[in-house]
């Protein structure tokens, strides 16, 4: 082959290669074009094989042409590659557009049930004074629910707790959390500061203020020298934390077989602030719990020497506390699981 023919072939290849480069639709096609013209077995390389047949003087000249063609095709390939990348980016940007101004989709969020939330609030206040949460069984035996609380079988005081019995000898659904007092006294040693939240059951006709299933929180403190004044001070702190620091409180005489003396603890009405209204029976006061000094008989059943130790106990209905905190007038709302009601407590 002579110089002229080779030069002409190289120029045709340049033209073909530039058209092919320009026509490559994507990175893979461009790579294919690159290999077929410039690769080790590519068309340009093939032609350069014939360089040995040329005159020595012509070789540098054809070499220069070949390098020029190769350089031009390489440069066109780089330009094409950049254009393909830019187009690819452009189409991805268009396809994957995120409109950051679109309002988010709301995720349905659950919330704590107001009774659980109220138990937590009660736990928190007494926790500050070192009271530790314990739990007893919902199915209790008659001895612990009544007898060890100084309520013998057939005693008229049993009428205070309309009882639901179960099909196990001498067992019942606990009517209050007070049997937990016995369990804690038997399991631990003084000083005792225990809080006993839990579900209780009574054979009651259901209305706005009665349920057959409800929650109580019981408190028990046993130590040397524990007094009614300690009980009063603690309950004042509790009432002020939940119902406001300015709220007046009072003890009234009460009766429970397991405490002596027994009291009812009242707070100034949270609806009328003590003025008197239908919610408080126009007395200006609301009873929020029952309490008293643990009866020596009960301490003894708990394995504690009443000559050395004294104790106080209190018990409150959680639904009642929650109703006062949130201005709810019917406790049945707490068990109906109506989301329109529950969603107000987020
Ligand atoms: N257990 C009593 C009730 O259910 C409340 C109470 C607890 C009273 C502790 C005094 C001491 O009515």
Tens-place pLDDT, residues 34-50: 999 888 888 888 887 87
| Same domain, residue pair 163 and 220 | yes
- Residue 143 Cα to ligand 1 midpoint, Å, equals 16
**Is there an atom of ligand 1 within 6 Å of 179 CB?**
no
**Is there an atom of ligand 1 within 6 Å of 314 CB?**
yes
- Our count of domains for the chain comes to 2
Cα–Cα distance measured from residue 302 to residue 183, given in angstroms and rounded to the nearest whole number: 7
| Same domain, residue pair 62 and 150 | no
CATH number of the domain enclosing 123: 3.30.930.10
| Same domain, residue pair 146 and 287 | yes
**Is there an atom of ligand 1 within 6 Å of 176 CB?**
yes
| Same domain, residue pair 314 and 238 | yes
| Same domain, residue pair 28 and 129 | no
User: Could you tell me the pLDDT band of residue 206, with boundaries at 50, 70 and 90?
Assistant: very high
Pocket test for ligand 1, best of 197, 290, 299 (most atoms within 8 A of CB): 290
Backbone torsion region of residue 190, taken as left when φ is above 0, otherwise alpha when ψ lies between -120 and 50, otherwise beta: beta
**Is there an atom of ligand 1 within 6 Å of 290 CB?**
yes
Report pLDDT for 10. Answer: 87
Tell whether the model's pLDDT for residue 199 goes beyond 90. Answer: yes
- pTM over 0.75, yes/no: no
Residue 189: strand, helix, or coil: coil
| Same domain, residue pair 64 and 7 | yes
Spell out where 65-137 has E strands. Answer: 132-133
- Residue 274 Cα to ligand 1 midpoint, Å, equals 25
In a domain, 105, yes or no: no
In a domain, 106, yes or no: no
Cα–Cα distance measured from residue 291 to residue 178, given in angstroms and rounded to the nearest whole number: 11
| Same domain, residue pair 71 and 145 | no
Cα–Cα distance measured from residue 82 to residue 285, given in angstroms and rounded to the nearest whole number: 84
In a domain, 179, yes or no: yes
Domain-ending residue, one of 67, 96, 125: 96
**Is there an atom of ligand 1 within 6 Å of 313 CB?**
yes
Report pLDDT for 45. Answer: 82
- Among 159, 110, 119, which Cα is nearest to 320's? 119
Residue 316: strand, helix, or coil: strand
Average confidence score pLDDT of the chain: 93
| Same domain, residue pair 165 and 43 | no
CB neighbour list of residue 106: distance below 8 Å, 6 or more residues apart: none
- 169 burial via Cβ count (<10 Å: 0-12, 13-18, 19+): exposed
| Same domain, residue pair 187 and 305 | yes
Q: Is the dihedral of CA 149, 150, 153, 154 positive or negative?
A: negative
- Residue 135 Cα to ligand 1 midpoint, Å, equals 16
| Same domain, residue pair 146 and 216 | yes
| Same domain, residue pair 65 and 157 | no
In a domain, 318, yes or no: yes
In a domain, 226, yes or no: yes
Domain-ending residue, one of 46, 67, 96: 96
Report pLDDT for 283. Answer: 94
| Same domain, residue pair 77 and 159 | no
| Atom 5 of ligand 1: nearest residue by CA position | 315
Domain that holds residue 9: 3-96
Largest CA distance in the chain: 133
Domain-ending residue, one of 96, 127, 155: 96
- Tokens at 162, concatenated: 């309309």
Tens-place pLDDT, residues 243-268: 999 999 999 999 999 999 999 999 99
């Amino acid at each position: 082959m002579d110089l002229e023919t080779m030069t002409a072939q190289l120029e045709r290849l340049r033209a073909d290669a530039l058209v092919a480069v320009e026509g490559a639709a994507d990175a893979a096609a461009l790579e294919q074009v690159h290999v077929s013209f410039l690769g080790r077995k590519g068309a340009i390389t093939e032609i350069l094989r014939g360089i040995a047949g040329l005159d020595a003087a012509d070789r540098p000249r054809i070499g220069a042409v070949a390098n020029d063609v190769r350089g031009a095709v390489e440069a066109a390939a780089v330009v094409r590659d950049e254009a393909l990348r830019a187009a690819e980016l452009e189409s991805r940007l268009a396809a994957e557009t995120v409109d950051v101004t679109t309002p988010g989709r709301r995720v349905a969020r659950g919330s704590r049930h107001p009774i659980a939330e109220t138990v937590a609030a009660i736990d928190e206040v007494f926790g500050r004074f070192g009271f530790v949460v314990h739990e007893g069984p919902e199915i209790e035996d008659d001895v612990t629910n009544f007898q060890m609380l100084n309520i013998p079988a057939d005693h008229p005081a049993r009428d205070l707790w309309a009882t639901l019995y179960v099909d196990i000898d001498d067992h019942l659904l606990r009517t209050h959390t007070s049997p937990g007092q016995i369990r804690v006294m038997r399991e631990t040693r003084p000083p005792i500061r225990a809080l006993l939240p839990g579900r209780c059951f009574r054979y009651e006709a259901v209305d706005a203020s009665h349920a057959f299933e409800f929650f109580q929180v019981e408190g028990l403190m046993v130590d040397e020298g524990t007094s009614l004044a300690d009980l009063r001070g603690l309950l004042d702190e509790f009432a002020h934390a939940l119902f406001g620091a300015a709220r007046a409180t009072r003890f009234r005489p009460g009766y429970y077989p397991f405490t002596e003396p027994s009291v009812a603890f009242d707070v100034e009405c949270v609806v009328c602030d003590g003025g008197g209204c239908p919610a408080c029976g126009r007395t200006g006061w609301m009873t929020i719990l029952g309490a008293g000094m643990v009866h020596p008989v009960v301490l003894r059943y708990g394995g504690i020497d009443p000559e050395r130790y004294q104790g106080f106990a209190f018990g409150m209905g959680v639904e009642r506390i929650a109703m006062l905190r949130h201005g709810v007038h019917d406790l049945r709302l707490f068990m109906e699981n109506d989301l329109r009601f529950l969603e107000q407590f987020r």
